[in-house]
Amino acid sequence: MDYKGKTILIVVGFLIFSFLFHSSLFFILDKNAPNLYDTDTWYSVRQIQTLGDGGDISQDKLLMYPEGRGINWGNLLPYLLVPFSNNEDTPLQTFNRFAWFAPILSAIFTIVIFLMVSRLYGERVGLYSSLPISIGSWIYLQNCLYGIIDHHLLESVFFTVAILALLLLIKERGLDWGVLFVLSALMLYFTSTLWTLYFCVISIVIVISILYHLWMWNRTVTLLCLPLTIIIPGYIFFTYFYGRFSSLLSWSEPISEIAHTSPLTLLLQYNILLLPIIIGILKVRKSLDELILIVVSTIFLILTIQFTRMGYMLFPMVMILSAYYIDKIIPKKYKLWIVLVFAITAIIFGAVTIIEFANTSKDNQDYGNALQYLLTQPQGLVLSWWNSGHWIVAISNQPPFTDPFQDRLLEASTIFTANKSQGLALLKRYDIHYILVSEDDNRYYDTMVWYSKSKTPYNDSYLKEIISNESYSFKNGKIKIFNV
């Protein structure tokens, strides 16, 4: 088989494998009921439907009700998907229509990685990096799975493509790579609320590149320019971005997606690939592109340790860097084995993740009929714990008191951790019409106490009172709805 034929075979193989693996939830879940294993997906569903009806997604009148809330959430995704929507679809039909978005995008991204990395370092490195990315791992994998209609995967795609396009622009000086870099950065701006963070990382890469080329040309000039490259970016950072980044790095809340990542988790996630990375960083002579990959990976490693959620940005960078070092330093007979050991490990962990998603959906299936019941009721503020807020607004078209944007999280926590008389008074104060609780909501009580600083024990709390109360207006399994 010639080179072109082999490349086409690899591309098609990656495409099929990645799509099938990330679509495996489709074969487990019930497509006739809302699959509630994710929260942000359902707000994307609402945005797609709002755009399809000619509405404005920059403002949502049902959030922070009755005032409404401005939405700054990376709005590119719904604009990309709305041309394929149907105005007659229910929220469930919209979900089922776009549930394939993540598996398709992740499969295409795998091919893009293969082609761009192969152009940079050769087809072997393209192969070694694409195979792990076609599987995914942990947080990155979760954003690739069937039914995840969220902007975080787009962030990872556009940022990684921007960095690779920049590396190819430096290497080949081709205008087409410059255009791709600008387009990717522009898409990243419209995709993410963290665009300032990503642009700062890209700026660091550009500064490193300029200094490197200056150093190769004239070391004296480089040393003279060095103070300016520290003072000017430092002034800009501390003047315009310091407040944002200091609050980001000091942010601590008991929400799993923004919790700290333990070193053990990282060891499990990258397992055997850590060996070539460590040896490579210590032994291989640093080229510009290698230095850039190390710097970008280090930045996102620090961010991932602070926030688990940032792992979806770290993963592709680590895969490319490890593939580069595998090709550079590992004996030929062991190269593919290292990649395969990681791939098999990732598939095993991925299968566990997929089963957990399916179990979460099964555990939350009682919400389905309850949310449909709320849809038939007069409009009124619905009190629940924050994780069901997007489901309430998207499926029930009711205003949630709090939601995954964490609006009114302190107020909701204060109500649930108050005693009965205080709780009733707060319901009246906030004009709450409905309460939606699950019998399992007691598992969030410690988190509620963390926000409210309440001293009320669970057995004396209003949450316990609601969960044990039998004067509900609707009940479905573990879910109860009360009219206030």
pLDDT at 2: 55
Contact by Cβ (8 Å): 156, 179? no
Question: Model-level pTM?
Answer: 0.93
Contacts of 216 (CB under 8 A, 6+ apart): none
Contacts of 53 (CB under 8 A, 6+ apart): 87
Angle at 345 between CA 342 and CA 351, to 5 degrees: 135
pLDDT at 3: 57
pLDDT at 247: 64
3-class SS at 435?
A: strand
| Exposure letters 375-390 (e unless 16+ CB within 10 A, then b) | eebeeebbbbbbbbbb
Contacts of 380 (CB under 8 A, 6+ apart): 398, 399, 432, 433, 434
pLDDT at 283: 84
Q: What is the DSSP string of 82-98?
A: GGG--TT--HHHHHHHH
Contact by Cβ (8 Å): 471, 482? yes
The H-or-E segment that residue 149 falls in is none
Smallest CA-to-CA distance from 255 within 433, 386, 81 is with: 386
CATH code that applies to domain 367-483: 3.40.50.12610
Q: How far is CA 273 from CA 109, 141, 175, 293, in A?
A: 21, 17, 34, 15
Contacts of 88 (CB under 8 A, 6+ apart): none
pLDDT at 15: 85
Domain boundaries of the chain, sorted by first residue: 101-360, 367-483
Q: pLDDT (tens digit, 0 to 9) for every residue of the chain, 484 residues total?
A: 555 667 778 778 888 999 999 999 999 998 899 999 999 999 999 999 999 999 999 999 999 999 999 998 888 999 999 999 999 999 999 999 999 999 999 999 999 999 999 999 999 999 999 999 999 988 999 999 999 999 999 999 999 999 999 999 999 989 999 999 999 999 999 998 889 899 989 999 998 998 888 888 887 777 777 777 777 777 777 776 666 666 666 667 777 667 788 888 888 899 999 999 999 998 877 789 999 999 999 999 999 988 888 999 999 999 999 999 999 999 988 998 999 999 999 999 999 999 999 999 999 999 999 999 999 999 999 999 999 999 999 999 999 999 999 899 999 999 999 999 999 999 999 999 999 999 999 999 999 999 999 999 999 999 999 999 999 999 999 999 999 9
